Structure 1
């Protein structure tokens, strides 16, 4: 006869499967869209400057809309309803892209898409973290399925584009969002355990900006993360310019994303052995070398063969950056610190890099974009070196805030 413990264990396992599938399809949609959207832009003859302006839309919109979505979720306790809404509406907006071919209309659609898409990742993370906390699991065991979905989507969609054209991007995106909704319906929301979104980021910012190590890390992330995120948009154009195919772009992203998971585990070992600061410095240094190497127009074979550089640079940085923020800010301000970190690195830094990359592409060449990325990353190394060798010490307060994953 099945005991209550066995039933709880079976129920937890079932929820884990549904949450993993939710992440698989959310990131499958993002993997079909983000790395390959350049194929659509090229098909409607947008200029580099126009592409840069459109690509800068998401980080600008997210800075405003993510806190608003968070307040709606907290006030009305409707995380699941908000996630269903944003998944469905963003998928439907995606289907409209093949019907437009002018810069103005694409910009409007992309802005609308960003409003709803900006809620998908933080709200799904909130739901998953509530489940993880209740059952004492590792968030990484769920989140890794997002990396799998992203990698598979980039590869499969790249193959399909070569056969049926860029419209496949939006069909794949919509189908993935619908599939995610279907699995979301089987996921109960652990309301009591789910972490709250901050309702005001302004309250603790003044105190955080008095911390030299945190301020320097914000400056570093502005440059390092900005170029990393912008590469996701411009790599497709770059890879074809050095002789690659659309299918090759998909293969490259499959290998790139696939290398991040094992490197994240390796980053944990390096951080324990040599410390967070040196591990982050290594990741940023490898990024700088990577971008300068790309600007020299290597063969596509070499770019594919050295795919693991993505894992060493991006995987190491992603695995250690949030931990550095947690360890170098007071426990009472860590939610605000993480929000500020993402806004500066993923938001403002990405916006600057995309806008500048568009101008460079029109004025000079796609290869010059990667010289710019390398130079920007070098600027990011300066504050990281100051953190490592400067006189400022870490925050004394080491209170555990119960962060998972």
Structure 2
């Protein structure tokens, strides 16, 4: 029989929730200051579209190796908070070094180093929050939505600052935000379920995960869908100026876009309870494809801003439920590793391909063609989601968990 939580316990849980909310707020504030406006820095040092694509594509290659490595270390030694602390500090300090370089080779080198440490931040923070949410029967989206709030605020504020003082300000904002996040990291719990101890070898664990059909199909879907979402964060700044916008307008756009994610992440929990994870993910993916195809038709900046909530529907729903899908469809003993693999495929391989192709498309065709490509990629990603929902493995989740953990 479970114990009824006392008033002190409820108060403690509230404090821990606030710490998680602040942790996500400042982590994503740093990301929101960096990603949406980094192309303004590239533009200021006169990099070509192909060079921008190469930087944005090569760096995720590092995360493909680094994320599973970080995940395995965390699963093996149960030191998630220690690793997250290390990677937040190093990521922030490396970010500052961008203010000292202005050539393609040095920017590429710094971006690779930054990716090595930054690639651990999202999988580990997600894992900590998922463990906290599951134990207290909360929805992960209730915590993750604070990341959307931080990202939105950062994009807007940093956009104004960049237009006034230049792109170097985004690196200072990034560093300060990550260092502030550390203050709240100390207060979040590192809870490990009894079944989550490291019971298999590292590489056997990866092999077992990739033998789960639902997990493998979801990796394929996220390769296409998350890859385009992350690539949009890089290219939207140039796209928005291409259709007549300003740098400050880019910040306003991201404020509206990312700001819309928070309420939809909250709503995602309601949809999941009513319709299930699979339909919620499908719904988000369809809206995402529609968004990219619409962007490729060169709408006015007014229209792009007016229909800002389309990001909340597509990105908000998908990000709020993706990590939960991974957790519910993989063994408890490999939770961090599973999330790290998922992140390395979507945010690593998928983003690498989308950025590399986008850079070539920009120099060879146009910014509008980049978004046509994003639409096609997302439409392809819908196919494995349909198979997950209606294919032969839709009822075999529990069986796969049992078989894999034996």
Judge same fold: TM > 0.5, yes or no.
yes
* Alpha-carbon contact 2:67-2:341 (below 8 Å) kept: no
Pairs within 5 Å for 1:176-191: 176-185=177-186, 187=187, 189-190=189-190
Q: C-alpha displacement at 1:140, in angstroms? A: 3.8
Q: C-alpha displacement at 1:314, in angstroms? A: 1.5
**Cα distance 1:334–1:299, how it changes in 2: closer, same or farther (>3 A)?**
same
Q: C-alpha displacement at 1:385, in angstroms? A: 3.7
Q: C-alpha displacement at 1:211, in angstroms? A: 5.0
- Structure 2 equivalent of residue 227 of structure 1: 228
**Residues 63-120 of structure 1, C-alpha deviation per residue, up to 9 Å, x if partnerless?**
2222333444455554444333322221111111121110000011111111121222
**Residues 18-76 of structure 1, C-alpha deviation per residue, up to 9 Å, x if partnerless?**
33222221111111001111110100011111111111234221222223334444555
**Residues 201-233 of structure 1, C-alpha deviation per residue, up to 9 Å, x if partnerless?**
632555555555444333222212211111111
**Residues 318-363 of structure 1, C-alpha deviation per residue, up to 9 Å, x if partnerless?**
2343444455556777665544333322221111111111111111
* Alpha-carbon contact 2:72-2:336 (below 8 Å) kept: no
**Residues 276-305 of structure 1, C-alpha deviation per residue, up to 9 Å, x if partnerless?**
444333322222221111111110000000
- Structure 2 equivalent of residue 341 of structure 1: 342
Pairs within 5 Å for 1:90-129: 90-129=91-130
Distance 1:276 1:136 in 2: 16
- Structure 2 equivalent of residue 168 of structure 1: 169
Distance 1:306 1:387 in 2: 30
Q: How many residues align?
A: 397
**Residues 239-276 of structure 1, C-alpha deviation per residue, up to 9 Å, x if partnerless?**
11101111111111111112223223444444455554
**Cα distance 1:245–1:312, how it changes in 2: closer, same or farther (>3 A)?**
same
Moved more, 98-107 or 66-75: 66-75
Distance 1:329 1:84 in 2: 26
| Pair 1:143-2:144 in alignment | yes
User: What RMSD, in angstroms, separates the aligned Cα atoms of the two structures?
Assistant: 3.2
**Cα distance 1:121–1:390, how it changes in 2: closer, same or farther (>3 A)?**
closer
* Alpha-carbon contact 1:57-1:114 (below 8 Å) kept: no
**Partner-residue secondary structure (3-state), 2:395:** coil
Distance 1:197 1:154 in 2: 39
- Structure 2 equivalent of residue 258 of structure 1: 259
**Cα distance 1:395–1:225, how it changes in 2: closer, same or farther (>3 A)?**
same
Where do 5+ consecutive residues of structure 2 fail to align? none
**Residues 119-176 of structure 1, C-alpha deviation per residue, up to 9 Å, x if partnerless?**
2223334444555566665544433222211110001000111111101101111111
Q: C-alpha displacement at 1:309, in angstroms? A: 0.9
Where do 5+ consecutive residues of structure 1 fail to align? none
- Structure 2 equivalent of residue 362 of structure 1: 363
Q: Normalising by structure 2, what TM-score?
A: 0.85
* Alpha-carbon contact 2:197-2:333 (below 8 Å) kept: no
- Structure 2 equivalent of residue 286 of structure 1: 287
- Structure 1 equivalent of residue 46 of structure 2: 45
Pairs within 5 Å for 1:314-325: 314-325=315-326
